[in-house]
Amino acid sequence: MPMDALAVLAEPTRRRIADRLRAADSSVGDLVTALRMSQPAISKHLKVLREAGVVVSERRGSWIFYRLAPNVAQRLDGIARGLVPGGLIPVGELTRRRPAQTAKPASA
């Protein structure tokens, strides 16, 4: 996996796509529906992810399915362990894991 894969995954939409592909292989249509984005936008992001070696594609009949490249999740997790306690956090977990910000009462 080229080192620029981390830079490629810095973009939130590409992280969402990678998170979805971590769960299951998906076609562009699957990703369009799941992420509620246009087909051209999804295709553009998949091209960037493919060029960085993050995803691979496979033709199945008339459909093309995408998945994370072999071992990419483990390699990224290994890199991230030094950056984030516990390794990678799926995008959907980021908002659930953040502690609630509560205002502290001012002392008199």
* Distance in angstroms (rounded) separating the CA atoms of residues 90 and 21: 11
Out of 6-15, 45-54, 94-103, least confident range: 94-103
* The CATH fold of domain 4-84: Arc Repressor Mutant, subunit A (1.10.10)
Query: What is the pTM (predicted TM-score) of this model?
Result: 0.67
pLDDT tens across 40-83, in order? 999 999 999 999 889 999 999 999 999 998 877 676 666 666 55
* Distance in angstroms (rounded) separating the CA atoms of residues 94 and 15: 12
User: 16 with 95: CB under 8 angstroms?
Assistant: no
Give the start-to-end residue ranges of the domains of the chain. Answer: 4-84
Q: Using only the alpha carbons of the chain, give its radius of gyration.
A: 17
* Distance in angstroms (rounded) separating the CA atoms of residues 62 and 22: 23
Helical residues (DSSP H) of the chain, grouped into ranges: 4-8, 12-23, 28-35, 39-51, 72-80, 91-97
Arithmetic mean of pLDDT over the chain: 78
